[in-house]
């Protein structure tokens, strides 16, 4: 799969019903009424493309990367010469109040002076200025790594919401199967009550089961509405369901997945760990700049000046041209301890960044271990449900044979068929849990490939 991003945290766990608010359910119901006839079913790829067009966070990430590029250009510009042009015009009024010179005992004059200065200054040694470029590049790398994490987090949230809708759809289908089976049994029992072959109490119990099944169907419909409402935050209101193939969705081989996405590889490619490493690089660059502040600086200067004066009190005008070429060196001796304080601050930030790397690495490893263990249990659940369904198929066949032989009534056959159909839907839910855990493992590695997952979910 293509690497796209990573997310350590996951979203979309089914909330307990007691924590759901009536307002959210009402908002979702009203939203469906407004969507009306334009509602449609989306594949994961279609939902992802919609999210790209709707979520402002993607635009923010692009802007932040543009800003990082500008910072690199600014740091590169610090190494280039400074060229300046200064034009100065001065009107001078001169008046002799007292003078020992017998020729100019008193007098007044007004004359202008125009000065044009062209200067070039090129730094030849400035460690602080030189190290701003690597710092800007490290910050750009950090922004890119953070963008990968942010994009992967959004994609993970979308996938979890998408699969929550798929789970709710399957549960709703399961409740419909229950209602249909219970209603059919109640109808058959009604005929037998009318024929006088059974007591009315049996029919009444079956009718009670129908009411219970319909209540459960209403609850499952509410769950589906709520799940769709969460998904519509990403894709818009005109969505009525998701494309999920159910039993035909492929599930991974545990050993192949763990071998391809091992704990050692997680430490190398995890986007969250890459962000922590980028933060260490920035802290180290800032420490180097703090150290460089103790060193002297030097720059070459070239200055050309043209000055023109039109008349004065003591004679005619003048034109003066001068060119200066020199080397300027500066060394700050004392500044109140600011540089040493900044150096201590930079070293503390390096220490914090290293501690954060260790923390994120540990959390990533623990989450990986929890997910792989969860995947193992989910695969075992799929196998267990499959075995139960095979047994239910055999029991259904046996019940049909006994019913045809007249040894049992239709109730046993209906119950056996209901058990088989229910287990088939439970198997789909179990497989869904497997693919959801698989997606979360891929997210840890930044390996979420939406088109491939979309094809898997659709059974292509």
What pLDDT is recorded for position 27?
41
Does any domain span residue 6? no
- The β-bridge partners of 285 are none
Does any domain span residue 100? no
Q: Look at residue 16 and tell me whether its pLDDT is greater than 70.
A: no
Q: Quote the domain boundaries for residue 342.
A: 20-30+38-93+108-458
- DSSP per-residue letters across 33-54: HHHGGG-EEE-HHHHHHHHHHH
Q: Are 421 and 177 in contact (CB under 8 A)?
A: yes
Does any domain span residue 210? yes
337: left (phi over 0), alpha (psi -120 to 50) or beta: left
List the CATH number of the domain containing 179. 1.20.1600.10
Q: Look at residue 284 and tell me whether its pLDDT is greater than 80.
A: yes
Q: Look at residue 15 and tell me whether its pLDDT is greater than 60.
A: no
Q: What is the mean pLDDT of the chain?
A: 84
pTM, two decimals, is 0.75
Q: Where are the alpha helices (DSSP H) in 78-126?
A: none
Q: Look at residue 34 and tell me whether its pLDDT is greater than 90.
A: no
Tell me how far CA of residue 77 lies from CA of 122, 128, 142, 200, 286, in angstroms. Answer: 12, 13, 21, 93, 19
**% of the chain residues with pLDDT over 90:** 52
Query: Would you state the structure tokens that stand for residue 247, as one six-digit string?
Result: 């039993």
Across 72-88, average pLDDT: 92
What pLDDT is recorded for position 317?
74
Does any domain span residue 1? no
Q: Look at residue 7 and tell me whether its pLDDT is greater than 70.
A: no
What pLDDT is recorded for position 39?
58
Give 107's pLDDT tier (boundaries 50, 70, 90): low
Question: Residue written as tokens 């229950």?
Answer: 178
Does any domain span residue 7? no
Across 114-127, average pLDDT: 93
Across 344-355, average pLDDT: 96
Q: Are 317 and 337 in contact (CB under 8 A)?
A: no
Other Cβ atoms closer than 10 A to 199:
11
Q: Are 429 and 167 in contact (CB under 8 A)?
A: yes
Give 357's pLDDT tier (boundaries 50, 70, 90): very high
Give 460's pLDDT tier (boundaries 50, 70, 90): low
First to last CA, the chain: 16
Give 312's pLDDT tier (boundaries 50, 70, 90): low
Does any domain span residue 145? yes
What pLDDT is recorded for position 54?
82
Across 397-403, average pLDDT: 86
Number of independent structural domains in the chain:
1
Q: Of the candidates 39, 54, 46, 436, which has an alpha carbon nearest to the alpha carbon of residue 225?
A: 39
What pLDDT is recorded for position 99?
58
326: left (phi over 0), alpha (psi -120 to 50) or beta: beta
Query: Would you state the structure tokens that stand for residue 264, as one six-digit string?
Result: 């050692």
Distance between CA atoms of 153 and 262, rounded to whole angstroms? Answer: 21
Across 196-223, average pLDDT: 89
Does any domain span residue 405? yes
What pLDDT is recorded for position 350?
96
Across 17-39, average pLDDT: 41
Give 101's pLDDT tier (boundaries 50, 70, 90): low
Q: Look at residue 102 and tell me whether its pLDDT is greater than 70.
A: no
What pLDDT is recorded for position 80?
92
Other Cβ atoms closer than 10 A to 379:
20
Q: What is the DSSP letter of 294?
A: T
What pLDDT is recorded for position 22?
36
Give 279's pLDDT tier (boundaries 50, 70, 90): very high
What pLDDT is recorded for position 25?
41
Q: Look at residue 88 and tell me whether its pLDDT is greater than 60.
A: yes
Low-confidence winner among 30-44, 110-124, 187-201, 374-388 (lowest mean pLDDT): 30-44
User: CA 38, 43, 48, 51: dihedral to nearest 10 degrees?
Assistant: 20
The most distant pair of C-alpha atoms in the chain lies apart, rounded to whole Å, by 151
What pLDDT is recorded for position 119?
94
**In this structure, are strands 107-125 and 82-96 parallel, antiparallel, or unpaired?**
antiparallel
Does any domain span residue 15? no
Across 215-242, average pLDDT: 91
């Amino acid at each position: 799969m293509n690497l796209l991003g990573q997310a350590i945290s996951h979203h979309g766990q089914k909330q307990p019903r007691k924590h759901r608010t009536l307002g959210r359910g009402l908002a979702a119901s009203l939203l469906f009424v407004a969507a009306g006839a334009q509602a449609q079913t989306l594949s994961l790829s279609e939902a992802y493309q919609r999210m790209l067009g709707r979520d402002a966070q993607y635009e923010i990430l692009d802007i932040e990367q543009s800003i990082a590029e500008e910072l690199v250009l600014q740091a590169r510009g610090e190494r280039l010469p400074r060229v300046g042009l200064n034009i100065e015009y001065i009107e001078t009024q001169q008046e002799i109040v007292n003078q020992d010179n017998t020729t100019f005992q008193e007098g007044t004059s007004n004359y202008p002076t125009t000065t044009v200065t062209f200067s070039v200054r090129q730094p030849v040694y400035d460690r602080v200025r030189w190290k701003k470029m690597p710092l800007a590049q490290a910050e750009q790398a950090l922004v890119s790594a953070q963008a990968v994490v942010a994009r992967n987090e959004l994609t993970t949230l979308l996938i979890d919401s998408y699969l929550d809708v798929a789970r709710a759809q399957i549960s709703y289908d399961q409740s419909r199967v229950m209602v249909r089976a219970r209603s059919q049994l109640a109808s058959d029992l009604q005929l037998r009550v009318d024929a006088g072959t059974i007591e009315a109490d049996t029919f009444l119990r079956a009718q009670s089961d129908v009411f219970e099944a319909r209540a459960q169907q209403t609850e499952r419909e509410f769950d589906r509405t709520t799940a769709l409402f969460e998904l519509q935050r990403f894709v818009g209101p005109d969505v009525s369901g998701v494309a999920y193939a159910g039993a035909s969705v492929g599930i991974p081989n545990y050993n192949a997945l763990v071998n391809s996405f091992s704990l050692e590889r997680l430490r190398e490619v995890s986007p969250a760990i890459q962000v922590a490493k980028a933060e260490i690089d920035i802290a180290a660059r800032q420490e180097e700049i703090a150290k460089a502040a103790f060193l002297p600086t030097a720059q070459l200067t070239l200055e050309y000046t043209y000055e023109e004066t039109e008349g004065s009190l003591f004679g005619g005008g003048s034109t003066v041209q001068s060119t200066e070429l020199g080397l300027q060196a500066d060394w700050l001796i004392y500044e109140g301890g600011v540089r040493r304080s900044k150096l201590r601050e930079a070293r503390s930030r390096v220490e914090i960044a290293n501690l954060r790397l260790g923390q994120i690495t540990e959390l990533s490893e623990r989450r990986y271990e929890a997910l792989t263990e969860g995947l193992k249990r989910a695969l075992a659940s799929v196998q267990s449900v499959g075995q139960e369904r095979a047994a239910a198929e055999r029991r259904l066949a046996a019940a049909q044979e006994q019913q045809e032989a007249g040894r049992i009534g239709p109730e046993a056959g209906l119950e056996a068929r209901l058990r088989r159909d229910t287990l088939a839907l439970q198997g789909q839910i179990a497989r869904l849990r497997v693919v959801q855990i698989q997606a979360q493992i891929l997210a840890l590695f930044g390996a979420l490939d939406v088109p491939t997952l979309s094809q898997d979910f659709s059974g292509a």
